[in-house]
């Protein structure tokens, strides 16, 4: 039997996203596994892994919004914009920041923003990743990207770090694909007049999966020893639940199984339409880029399973 579905994993600190994929390959005894968006090694939280035919959904799921919780440290800036870098600038925070200033700073970063990726990031420029230039002590012009911050809020009172060198601000953020939360932390500091960096980050939602649905590495190791890992896989329909669905007839099924281009007017209008049979997702269609009024397959899912 082919293993397929979404494994909702909680990534711990100290592991790369690829490390998690390698571990999952052993748990499920398959190489056909992909993740839906890299998390830095120090970042924890939701890391959905697509298994089997669900790997076809990786590009779509990576496009979706993400949510995070973390802490911003006011008082110093670093080369990496987080705790892993060398200190570039310091400015002591003498007093607590008034609530109204904090609220203004967070509100000013909600909406569509233009971000420059940090030098210590995986963005490629001229075939090399930015962190490779940074490690070599080189600088290069970085591409500006447009991202959207849907919500950005302080989630509690500020507090001094144990050494009182930094004022820590807890926050939550919901944002589009490609948003650098590290850079948002730096921007908050700039608005408040202090160098800043990201001191802690946890992803709380990705691909429509929340942290409450996720399993830890240790829990997965235990399930693997019991031979019960497959029971934890979410069906592909779970991560497609917010898309428009259309239940097909037997006649339509044959066309979809063959990847036919279909007239858009026959079906509900949607940027992505999930065709189902007996509530199981068969394929995802989208508007044809060249043939006006037609839709074409974007992802083919269960069409080869004898429906």
pLDDT of residue 303: 61
Q: What is the pTM of this model?
A: 0.90
C-alpha closest to that of 6 among 68, 60, 44, 53: 53
Q: Which domains does the chain have, with CATH numbers?
A: 5-64+207-235 (3.30.2350.10), 66-206 (3.30.2350.10), 243-300 (2.30.130.10)
pLDDT of residue 95: 86
What are the residue numbers of the active site?
Answer: 40
Going residue by residue through the chain (307 aa), what tens digit of pLDDT does each one get? 478 999 999 999 999 999 999 999 999 999 999 998 888 888 999 999 999 999 999 999 999 999 999 999 999 999 989 998 899 999 999 888 999 999 999 999 999 999 987 777 777 888 888 788 878 888 888 888 899 999 999 999 999 999 889 999 999 999 999 899 999 999 999 999 999 999 999 999 999 999 999 999 999 999 999 888 888 999 999 999 999 999 999 999 999 999 999 999 999 999 999 999 999 999 999 999 999 999 999 999 976 554 4
């Amino acid at each position: 039997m082919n293993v397929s579905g979404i494994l909702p994993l909680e990534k711990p600190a100290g592991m790369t996203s690829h490390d998690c994929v390698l571990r999952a390959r052993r748990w499920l005894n398959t190489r056909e596994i992909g993740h839906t968006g890299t998390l830095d090694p120090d970042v924890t939280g939701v890391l959905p892994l697509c298994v089997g035919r669900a790997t076809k959904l990786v590009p779509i799921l990576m496009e979706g919004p993400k949510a995070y919780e973390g802490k911003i440290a006011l008082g110093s800036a670093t080369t990496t914009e987080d705790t892993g870098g060398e200190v570039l600038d310091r400015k002591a925070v003498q007093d607590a920041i008034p609530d109204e200033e904090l609220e203004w700073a967070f509100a000013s970063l909600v909406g569509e923003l233009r971000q420059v990726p940090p030098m210590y990031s995986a963005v490629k420029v001229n075939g090399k990743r930015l962190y490779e230039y940074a490690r070599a002590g080189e600088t290069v012009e970085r591409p500006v990207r447009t991202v959207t911050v849907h919500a950005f809020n302080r989630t509690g009172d500020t507090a001094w770090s144990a050494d009182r060198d930094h004022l820590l601000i807890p926050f939550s953020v919901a944002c589009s694909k490609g948003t650098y939360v590290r850079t948002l932390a730096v921007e908050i500091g700039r608005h408040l007049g202090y160098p800043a960096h990201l001191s802690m980050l946890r992803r709380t939602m990705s691909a429509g999966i929340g942290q409450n649905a996720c399993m830890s590495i240790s829990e997965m190791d235990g399930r693997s020893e019991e031979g019960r890992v497959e029971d934890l896989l979410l069906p592909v329909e779970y991560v497609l639940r917010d898309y428009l669905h259309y239940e097909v007839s037997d006649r339509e099924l044959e066309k979809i199984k063959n990847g036919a281009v279909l007239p858009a007017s026959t079906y509900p209008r949607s940027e992505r339409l999930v065709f189902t049979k007996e509530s199981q997702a068969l394929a995802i269609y989208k508007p044809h880029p060249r043939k006006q009024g037609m839709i074409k397959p974007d992802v083919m899912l269960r069409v080869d399973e004898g429906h």
